[in-house]
Structures are given as structure tokens and as C-alpha cells.
């Protein structure tokens, strides 16, 4: 058997040298007159181990990491092609604690298969969900998705089945499936990992959505900062088309469905669904007032399903294994699994797919391993730039939509940014207002003007000017933004600001402010 080497082609792995490692391995093979098949797989998501190189041995895959080009010679000297011992030896990846503790449903193949091999995809259970869907009625498919309890993973947590039902029930000559791959939240990379590491699962999920709702055309709107994902998706769509997974007769059925890949120009607000639709139509990315809902009047005025990458990529396993299998994971109204992304000042940054319900403390301390700096964790921001800052006192909060909402927080796209005790929470509150001011689409006053006034008022607190009066003013302003903004950009910016004030009030006191300024 020709040796097989897996080197992630994921852009996160490339950022820490995977391409250089691949080049060094190819050169070493040449120098030693050896031959091996090199597969550029996706990342398994343990970024603290990337570039993580694996070799296929008679007893399964053996991993090494993090590998540098300068390690290659010694790896070969230590028989790495047959899984030999080395200081970077990690053993079987599935037994490594970071992977062994996960429940991988959506990311089952990510990092394992060759992302652009449809045969490999099928060999690992791919297309079984779509195959089943084309034998069912639209109402049966929608019921299956509804029964699974799947809720939108883009941020709002809206039940996916209900959205699909609205589109299915709205008569129209044309309907669309739009995949939101704008992934603008801080600490998030799950969408990117799927598109680069298992693009066919997204294509399959979108095709199932098309069959269920009567939509024959899909668009994937990808942020411009993801060129690798754009390329992977374009190639995968072409392969799927040639294989009859997409086209006029999806898997030989009477359903037509095709996909186009579109790139955004780079605006956080273009991840907001109505703004995204405007951008897709070639207009400025400004938020539209609702109603009408996109499900009734969306892209080009037609009924449109707009779902996040992870929502759509979770549908194939639901259709393959049944609603109950998916629903059996999770807690309360948060069913199934969620790919938690740990970043910031975390020792073990990466993607961890698990059933809902782990506490925040378990995620940060046990899985994330605390801070990379080794200093105590001061705060974690959950849910991107619009998410609340949680102090250690709230680390018993279970990862669940309702439990987070009850603590004035949100799960969002499940990104967690870790901060150590050197973080200045007044600066973080200012950053939240500044971010909103920069990214505001400008349509409504509380957000457009409020965010700028928010920066100025926090600056006055930092300068020690009437701190109590200005703190009250920020609170008042946050209430106006929360209740008066048209969309969640202005409406949720108060969450990081108010949580910083509430949980880290000492950073806003004149003595702390004077100390930070020194």
C-alpha cells in the first residue's frame, strides 16, 4: 500500500505553516526516493496542534503536531510513515482528549475525508440524507427538520423547520435558498471550516432545503476574507454538478437545484439577513425593515430560505439518521449539537462540537485549558461582538439558548473569546460602541448616532469627567439603542457594554481609570 499522508489545507492550518510543511514533506520524499499520496484534508479543529499531520498506518491514522518544516527530517528518520515514535507523536487522533470528548454530527467528516472527493464523501455516509429526502414529500422533509429541534446557528436561534414551512407554503414561480456564510463574529470559524473541510455537506443541506421548499436555485454568500472557502465551494459545486447531485435532476429525481457562489465586499452588517439580500441583489448592504419576512418576500422579492452554513450543514445528518437521533442530544429547547469555537487568549483554541448543556466553565477551563498567557481568566465574551462579557461568577451557565438569555447574554454563532486579568473592560465597552459606529449601516438613528455618542461618553468616563453622571448616560443610551434600533447590530451592542459595566464595575471607577491611563 502506498503511504498516505494527510496535511490540512484549511486556511487556519495554512496560517500556521501547513503549506510549508507540505512542501518540506514532498521534498523529503523526493530526497529519499520515496512515494506517498498526499491529501490536503480539512482541519479537525484543534488549532493548538496545527499543522497536524497524519499518516495512514495498518492500525489506523497516527497524528503528529504541531509540525514545523524543520521537524520533517527527524520525522522521516523516526519512521513516521509507519507511525513511528517522535516527540510530536500524538497517537490516534480520535483518542486525543480534545477529539474523544466531542460528539461530531455536523463535523463528522471534517478533517477526515478529502474535501473535494465525492467518492470519499459517499464512503463516509455523505448523500444518504439527500437520497432519502428525494423519496419524501416536501411536507415530510419539513416535518423531519422541525421535529429534530434544529434552530438557526447564525445567531438568532430561530427554528429552521418553521422557516422552511413558511417558504414551502408560500406559492411563487421562483424561490431561493440563501446560505449565509458571512461569518463576521469574532472567534468564529465553524462556517469556514465546513466550507473548506467538508463542502459537500453544505451543498447536500442546501439541496435538501431546495427539495423541501420548492426552490430550484441557491446562493452561498461568502465573506471576501475567505478566499480558500470560496475556491473550495466553487470546485465542490462543479464536482456536484458533474455527478448529478446538482442540476436539473437532483440524484436522478424530478427536482432541479443548482448553486452559485457569491463573495461579499466586507461589511459586518452584510451578515444580517436583509442586508445580505440587498448585497446579493447588487445593492448597498442596508438593512430592510421587516415585515415582509424574507421567507415571504426575500431575494428579488421571492420567498427565500436564508440559513447559516451550520444550520444547513446539520440537515444531512438529520435526514440520514432521523429527527429523533438529533433531538436526543442537547437540553431544554436547545437540541442537537453545537460547534463551539474557542479563541482569544485560550490555551487550547479550536472547534469543539458537543451536545448543548456543557457549562461555560467546563468549556473555558477544561476544554479551552484556561488562558494561553497562563494568567487567570477574567472574562469571556460569548456570541461575537454583540455578545455579553461573562465573569467567572457566571461560569455555571449551561451552553443553551435560554440559559444564556436568562443571564442577559447570547450564544450567537457559538464563538467564545477568552480574556485574562490584564483586560481592561472599559476599553472593551468602548470597543463595542466603536465597532457599532464603524459597522452601522446608518439606517436608524439609535445605532448610527447612538454608537458615536457612546464612544464619546465612555471616553469622558475614562478621562475622569463626571464619571457617575456619564455612566448613567451610557446606561440610558444603551436602553435607547436596545429598544429603538431596527436590527440587532444597534440593538445588541448594549449587551457587551452593559455586561462590562455590570460585572466589571471596578474598571469604570475613577481610581482604575487613572491606573489604566498610567
Ligand X SMILES: Cc1cc2nc3c(=O)[nH]c(=O)nc-3n(C[C@H](O)[C@H](O)[C@H](O)COP(=O)(O)O)c2cc1C
Closest distance of CB 269 from ligand SF4, Å: 5
Interface with ligand SF4, residue 485, by CB under 6 A = yes
Distance of CA 386 to the CA centre of its chain: 15
Interface with ligand X, residue 186, by CB under 6 A = no
Task: List the one residue from 212, 237, 386, 444 that touches ligand SF4 (CB under 6 A).
Answer: 444
Closest distance of CB 131 from ligand X, Å: 23
Q: Contact 205/315 with Cβ under 8 angstroms?
A: yes
45 binds, among ligand X, ligand SF4, none (CB under 5 to 8 A by kind): none
Give the nearer residue to ligand SF4 in terms of CB position, either 316 or 490.
Answer: 490
Closest distance of CB 321 from ligand X, Å: 20
Instruction: Report the chain's C-alpha Rg in angstroms.
Output: 24
Closest distance of CB 446 from ligand SF4, Å: 7
Interface with ligand SF4, residue 477, by CB under 6 A = no
155 binds, among ligand SF4, ligand X, none (CB under 5 to 8 A by kind): ligand X
The closest of 235, 153, 156 to 188, measured between CA atoms, is 153
d(CA 228, CA 467): 47
In the chain, count of helices (H) and strands (E)? 23, 16
d(CA 45, CA 89): 17
Give the nearer residue to ligand SF4 in terms of CB position, either 461 or 486.
Answer: 486
Give the nearer residue to ligand SF4 in terms of CB position, either 381 or 485.
Answer: 485
Per CB under 6 A, which region of 51-59, 313-321, 364-372, 441-449 contacts ligand SF4? 441-449
Angle between helices 467-484 and 445-462 (to 10 degrees): 160
Q: Contact 303/177 with Cβ under 8 angstroms?
A: no
Per CB under 6 A, which region of 12-20, 33-41, 137-145, 484-492 contacts ligand SF4? 484-492
Interface with ligand X, residue 308, by CB under 6 A = yes
Interface with ligand SF4, residue 285, by CB under 6 A = no
Which residues, listed in sequence order, are joined to residue 311 by a DSSP beta bridge? none
Give the nearer residue to ligand X in terms of CB position, either 145 or 477.
Answer: 145
182 binds, among ligand X, ligand SF4, none (CB under 5 to 8 A by kind): ligand X
Interface with ligand SF4, residue 287, by CB under 6 A = yes
485 binds, among ligand SF4, ligand X, none (CB under 5 to 8 A by kind): ligand SF4
Interface with ligand X, residue 156, by CB under 6 A = yes
Interface with ligand X, residue 212, by CB under 6 A = no
Interface with ligand X, residue 307, by CB under 6 A = yes
Pairing of strands 304-308, 258-263: unpaired
In 402-471, DSSP assigns E strands to: 415-420
Site string for ligand X, 460-499 (x = CB under 6 A): ---------------------------xxx----------
Place of cell 436602553: 479
Interface with ligand SF4, residue 442, by CB under 6 A = yes
The closest of 339, 318, 349, 258 to 49, measured between CA atoms, is 349
d(CA 157, CA 408): 15
The closest of 356, 307, 329 to 153, measured between CA atoms, is 307
Closest distance of CB 444 from ligand SF4, Å: 3
Instruction: Tell me the three cell numbers of residue 386.
Output: 454583540
Give the nearer residue to ligand SF4 in terms of CB position, either 192 or 482.
Answer: 482
The closest of 182, 185, 181 to 205, measured between CA atoms, is 181
Closest distance of CB 180 from ligand X, Å: 4
Residue 220 phi, psi (nearest 5) = -110, 120
Task: Enumerate residues 6+ apart whose C-beta is below 8 A from 244.
Answer: 250, 251, 252
Interface with ligand X, residue 66, by CB under 6 A = no
Give the nearer residue to ligand X in terms of CB position, either 55 or 486.
Answer: 486
Q: Contact 20/206 with Cβ under 8 angstroms?
A: no
Q: Is 2 exposed, middle or buried (0-12, 13-18, 19+ CB in 10 A)?
A: exposed
Interface with ligand SF4, residue 496, by CB under 6 A = no
Per CB under 6 A, which region of 9-17, 75-83, 175-183, 225-233 contacts ligand X? 175-183
Give the nearer residue to ligand SF4 in terms of CB position, either 487 or 498.
Answer: 487
Interface with ligand SF4, residue 447, by CB under 6 A = yes
d(CA 61, CA 3): 11
Give the nearer residue to ligand X in terms of CB position, either 40 or 153.
Answer: 153
Give the nearer residue to ligand X in terms of CB position, either 8 or 271.
Answer: 271
> Which own/partner contact pairs does 227-233 have at CB distance under 8 Å and 24+ positions apart?
228/9, 228/10, 228/11, 228/14, 228/192, 228/196, 229/11, 229/181, 229/191, 229/192, 229/195, 229/196, 230/261, 230/263, 232/115, 232/116, 232/195, 232/196, 232/199, 233/195, 233/199, 233/202, 233/261
Give the nearer residue to ligand SF4 in terms of CB position, either 190 or 287.
Answer: 287
Q: Which residues here bind ligand SF4, judged by CB under 6 A?
A: 269, 287, 440-444, 447-448, 485-487, 489-490
Q: Which residues here bind ligand X, judged by CB under 6 A?
A: 152-156, 158, 180, 182-184, 268-269, 271-273, 306-308, 311, 487-489
Amino acid at each position: 500500500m502506498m503511504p498516505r499522508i494527510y496535511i490540512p489545507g484549511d486556511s487556519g492550518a495554512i496560517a500556521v505553516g501547513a503549506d510549508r510543511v507540505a512542501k518540506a514533506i514532498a521534498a523529503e520524499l523526493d530526497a529519499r526516493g520515496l512515494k506517498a499520496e498526499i491529501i490536503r484534508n480539512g482541519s479537525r479543529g484543534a488549532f493548538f496542534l496545527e499543522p497536524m499531520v497524519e499518516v495512514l498506518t495498518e492500525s489506523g491514522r497516527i497524528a503528529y503536531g504541531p509540525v514545523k518544516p524543520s521537524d520533517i527530517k527527524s520525522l522521516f528518520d523516526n519512521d513516521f510513515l509507519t507511525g513511528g515514535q517522535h516527540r510530536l507523536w500524538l497517537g490516534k487522533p480520535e483518542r486525543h482528549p480534545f477529539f474523544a470528548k466531542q460528539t461530531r454530527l455536523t463535523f463528522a467528516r471534517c478533517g477526515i475525508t478529502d474535501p473535494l472527493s465525492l467518492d470519499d464523501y459517499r464512503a463516509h455516509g455523505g448523500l444518504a440524507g439527500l437520497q432519502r429526502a428525494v423519496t419524501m414529500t416536501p411536507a415530510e422533509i419539513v416535518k423531519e427538520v422541525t421535529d429534530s429541534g434544529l434552530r438557526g446557528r447564525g445567531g438568532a436561534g430561530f427554528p429552521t423547520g418553521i422557516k422552511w414551512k413558511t417558504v414551502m407554503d408560500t406559492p411563487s414561480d421562483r424561490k431561493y435558498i440563501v446560505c449565509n456564510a458571512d461569518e463576521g463574529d469574532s472567534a468564529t470559524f465553524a462556517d469556514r471550516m465546513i466550507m473548506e473541510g467538508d463542502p459537500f455537506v453544505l451543498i447536500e443541506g442546501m439541496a435538501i432545503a431546495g427539495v423541501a421548499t420548492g426552490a430550484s436555485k441557491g446562493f452561498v454568500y461568502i465573506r471576501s476574507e475567505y478566499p480558500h472557502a470560496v475556491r473550495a465551494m466553487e470546485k465542490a459545486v462543479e464536482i456536484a454538478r458533474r455527478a448529478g447531485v446538482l442540476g436539473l435532476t437532483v440524484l436522478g429525481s424530478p427536482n432541479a437545484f443548482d448553486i452559485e457562489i457569491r463573495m461579499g465586499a466586507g461589511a459586518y452588517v452584510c451578515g444580517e439577513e436583509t442586508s445580505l439580500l440587498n448585497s446579493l441583489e447588487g445593492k448597498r448592504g442596508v438593512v430592510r425593515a421587516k415585515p415582509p419576512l424574507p421567507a415571504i418576500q426575500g431575494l428579488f422579492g421571492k420567498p427565500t430560505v436564508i440559513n447559516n452554513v451550520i444550520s444547513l450543514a446539520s440537515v444531512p445528518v438529520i435526514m440520514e439518521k432521523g429527527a429523533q437521533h438529533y433531538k436526543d442530544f442537547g437540553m431544554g429547547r436547545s437540541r442537537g449539537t453545537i460547534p463551539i469555537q474557542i479563541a482569544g487568549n485560550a490555551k487550547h483554541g479550536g472547534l469543539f462540537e458537543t451536545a448543548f448543556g456543557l457549562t461555560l466553565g467546563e468549556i473555558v477551563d477544561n476544554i479551552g485549558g484556561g488562558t494561553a498567557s497562563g494568567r487567570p481568566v477574567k472574562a469571556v465574551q460569548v456570541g461575537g461582538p454583540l455578545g455579553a462579557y461573562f465573569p467567572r461568577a457566571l461560569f455555571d451557565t449551561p451552553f443553551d439558548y435560554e440559559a444564556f438569555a436568562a443571564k442577559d447574554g447570547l450564544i450567537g454563532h457559538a464563538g467564545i473569546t477568552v480574556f485574562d486579568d490584564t483586560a481592561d473592560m472599559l476599553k472593551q465597552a468602548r470597543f463595542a460602541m466603536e465597532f457599532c459606529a464603524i459597522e452601522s449601516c446608518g439606517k436608524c438613528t439609535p445605532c448610527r448616532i447612538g454608537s458615536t455618542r457612546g464612544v464619546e461618553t465612555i471616553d469622558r468616563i475614562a478621562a475622569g469627567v463626571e464619571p457617575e453622571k456619564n455612566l448613567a448616560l451610557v446606561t440610558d443610551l444603551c436602553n435607547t439603542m436596545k429598544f429603538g434600533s431596527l436590527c440587532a447590530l444597534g440593538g445588541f451592542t448594549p449587551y457587551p457594554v452593559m455586561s462590562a459595566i455590570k460585572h466589571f464595575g471596578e474598571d469604570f471607577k475613577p481610581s482604575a481609570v487613572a491606573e489604566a491611563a498610567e
